[in-house]
Amino acid sequence: MLDRVPLHEIQREAFRADVRDGLAAPAKRLPSRWLYDDRGSELFEEITRLPEYYPTRTETRILEARAEEIAAFCGPRATVVEYGAGAGVKTALVLAALDNPAVYVPIDIAGDFLELAAARLSERFPWLEIRPVTADFTAELDLPDDLPRLNARIGFFPGSTIGNLSEGEARTFLRRMRGHLGSQGKAIIGVDLRKDLGRLLPAYDDAAGVTAAFNLNLLTRINRELEGGFDLARFAHEARWNDVEGAVEMHAVSLADQTVAIGGDLVAFARGETIHTESSRKYSPEAFDALAAAEGWAVTRLWTDEDRLFAVMGLEQTA
């Protein structure tokens, strides 16, 4: 009876399977979503405040500066569907700017975090109907079927999280979002733009070592949850640019020839071999247009900062 198995056990088994398969692959890799246990989420919050990590503060400034135009784009009495419930700062900015939003639907896999975020927002916006949905927004999901039908639905996907999806995953996401929002739906998506590596790489390899801790925390998580034997002193963080993919990649680099036990398995690492733990794609506006167009979306607004580091894009449907 699948519905009697607690979600955290289903998650643990999915984690185990991803670690087993990912570390048995010729090029070792792990899906980046496993970076976000409690400690990983805390470290990510810390990253967003680092001097080198420009995306969060740049996007927030764009949302503040362009609040009126964004509100005009969304229209009155909108139903806002947010993919991933963040710490709430950007959400609050957008909800405060919009003309009388009717319903807010945050979607997140972490149910307790979602409830907390929803409770915080309802203190600030007591008149707003909040309908949290606990689900993995990269998978098939259903929105509550009693959401108002007449109001415009706005998909909100800030933070450049879309950059952490492969091209195929991003296309699937855009396609599913069309399904959730209906033919009149619009979207507001935060996209980190291509830029010189002198600016980009330090954002993923900061001087204080917070990103390194965030990356290597994944090995600590394997040790704790899957009886792993990673020696953290024998792995290092690396951020590198992959020009073919147009992405900054995070890797955990083995500093020695070594064998690591994980549960009953033994995983061999050569010195210098890496585990690829995350890709963070950087788009040109043209490349993002093309991606969106392939799934029936047109980027009709692009709000950016004066250095063109980051873009908040407004999307409407073409078909």
What does the binding site for ligand AVI look like in residue numbers (CB under 6 A)? 47, 55, 159-161, 163-164, 204, 211, 278, 280
- Which is closer to ligand AVI, CB of 280 or CB of 304? 280
Closest distance to ligand AVI from the beta carbon of 292 (Å): 18
Using left for φ > 0, alpha for ψ between -120 and 50, and beta otherwise, residue 41 falls in alpha
Closest distance to ligand AVI from the beta carbon of 211 (Å): 5
Measured CA to CA in angstroms, residue 318 lies from 68, 150, 175, 185 at distances of: 24, 20, 12, 11
300-303 contact pairs (CB < 8 A, 24+)? 301/69, 301/73, 303/62, 303/65, 303/66, 303/69, 303/70
Nearest to 185, CA basis, from 196, 177, 173? 177
Q: Identify the residue whose tokens are 């991933």.
A: 84
- Which is closer to ligand AVI, CB of 138 or CB of 211? 211
- b (16+ CB within 10 A) / e for 228-258: bebeeebbebbbbeeeeebbbbbbbbbeeeb
Closest distance to ligand AVI from the beta carbon of 257 (Å): 28
Closest distance to ligand AVI from the beta carbon of 136 (Å): 15
**By Cβ distance, which residue is nearest to ligand AVI?**
280
- Which is closer to ligand AVI, CB of 161 or CB of 274? 161
Helices within 125-273 (DSSP H only):
167-181, 197-203, 210-225
| The two structure tokens encoding residue 145 | 């079927």
- Which is closer to ligand AVI, CB of 164 or CB of 317? 164
- Which is closer to ligand AVI, CB of 160 or CB of 304? 160
Closest distance to ligand AVI from the beta carbon of 312 (Å): 14
Closest distance to ligand AVI from the beta carbon of 249 (Å): 10
- Which is closer to ligand AVI, CB of 164 or CB of 254? 164
Give yes or no for a contact between 296 and 43, defined as CB atoms under 8 angstroms apart: no
Closest distance to ligand AVI from the beta carbon of 157 (Å): 10
Nearest to 182, CA basis, from 60, 316, 285, 77? 316
Closest distance to ligand AVI from the beta carbon of 44 (Å): 6
- Which is closer to ligand AVI, CB of 58 or CB of 211? 211
Nearest to 92, CA basis, from 49, 115, 70, 122? 122
- Which is closer to ligand AVI, CB of 55 or CB of 185? 55
| The two structure tokens encoding residue 178 | 């069309």
Measured CA to CA in angstroms, residue 198 lies from 46, 165, 201, 277, 312 at distances of: 21, 23, 6, 22, 23
